[in-house]
Amino acid sequence: MKINELVGQLTLIGVSGHTLTNDEKKFIVENNISGVVLFGRNVSEPKQIRDLCAEIQSLRHKMADRAPLFIGIDMEGGRVHRLKKPFTQWPPLKNIGDLDAPTVAFHFAHRMGVELMSVGINLDFAPCVDIFTNPKNTVIGDRAVSTDAHQVEKMASALVRGYIKSGILSCAKHFPGHGHTIIDSHEELPVEEATLERLHEIELVPFKKALRSRVDMVMTAHILFKNVDPKWPVTMSPLFLKQMIRDELKYRGLIITDDLDMKAMAKHYDKAEIPVRSLEAGADLLLYCNEPESPPVAIESVSNAVGLGRLQRSELEAIHQKVMDVKKIKLLSPDPRPIEDAMTVIGCDDHQYLADCIRNHKMPEGLSDS
């Protein structure tokens, strides 16, 4: 396998519109890209989304690994909700926390996952298991289940299990916790005072539960915890990714970065250095959402780092094998269902009823225990 194809299988990218351009198809195929992330600019109505996912998956037959692609999206409910009607409009996680019912959390995640899977989306960058510990934190706010670590912990497990049952890959974010920051990492690098003791007592509590509940991925936060690792933000910190996630918490799933073009990264580090440093630190997957010029730079710079001996090809091959193992087990039927099948679940009465109950802080009737 060529080095660019090896690195490409560790890279997820954004695309520009409702269909793929010829340049996007060429780039994905030639570089064996691992997956695509969908945003508002990529989605309109169910058939268009289904057809785009089918188009993306059809490329695998021409790619080096012949492997299904991850097709990811941010669907948490509430503000972070890329799919509009007729998809069920799910309320924010805070409403789930207010109900204090893990069974409701399980069905919320399961039914959301079922709708995503029906159009071919196989990865949800959810659940958000941050704890809302700072009232001034507008980035997280009602995206968090609760201000209480143990409440978030309880719901994190139910949410992960719901996503697993739907067949969709889940991703706990933003490790080790974004709930106390004031600064938005989309705009600047947050610097936090939390000690290692505080992280273990509060922020890490729901992450530990999510990891034990077999969440498929964990997403790193672009935050500098100066009392833990004064040099590197989490995404580039071997202390957080290798020592904490792998050695201490014994997590064997995939570690994915948050978008590496966010200003928390881009303002402070060289574009070519960011992906190399992230892989050195222990990340498995590099995420690029919005800047089309960044993935080619990342693939080239990581390839050069291998050539220079800074990164070992054998280590990248081990990550590649881990990614392929996940795809082999989890993406057994990557092509989306016929649109007629999808429309039987998208926005169906059961899903609307559950969403309305959660929105109105009412306990739904007739839910079986998860």
Taking the C-alpha atoms of residue 38 and residue 16, their distance in angstroms, rounded to an integer, is: 9
Taking the C-alpha atoms of residue 75 and residue 124, their distance in angstroms, rounded to an integer, is: 6
Please tell me which residue in 186, 247, 341, 361 is annotated as part of the active site.
Answer: 186
58 CB contacts (<8 Å, ≥6 apart)? none
6 CB contacts (<8 Å, ≥6 apart)? 32, 313, 316, 317, 320
**Parallel, antiparallel or unpaired: strands 80-81 and 75-77:** antiparallel
DSSP single-letter state for residue 227 = T
Catalytic (active site) residue 74 = no
Taking the C-alpha atoms of residue 339 and residue 345, their distance in angstroms, rounded to an integer, is: 10
CA 226 to chain centroid:
25
Query: CA quadruple 307, 312, 316, 318: dihedral positive or negative?
Result: positive
- Locate tokens 């409440």: which residue? 151
Taking the C-alpha atoms of residue 33 and residue 108, their distance in angstroms, rounded to an integer, is: 31
Taking the C-alpha atoms of residue 136 and residue 190, their distance in angstroms, rounded to an integer, is: 14
Helix (H) or strand (E) holding 72: strand 70-73
**Burial (Cβ within 10 Å: 0-12, 13-18, ≥19) of residue 330:** middle
26 CB contacts (<8 Å, ≥6 apart)? none
Query: CA quadruple 111, 115, 117, 122: dihedral positive or negative?
Result: negative
Catalytic (active site) residue 261 = no
Q: How many residues does the chain have?
A: 370
188 CB contacts (<8 Å, ≥6 apart)? 263, 264, 267
Please tell me which residue in 258, 259, 261, 284 is annotated as part of the active site.
Answer: 258
Q: Which residues are catalytic?
A: 186, 258
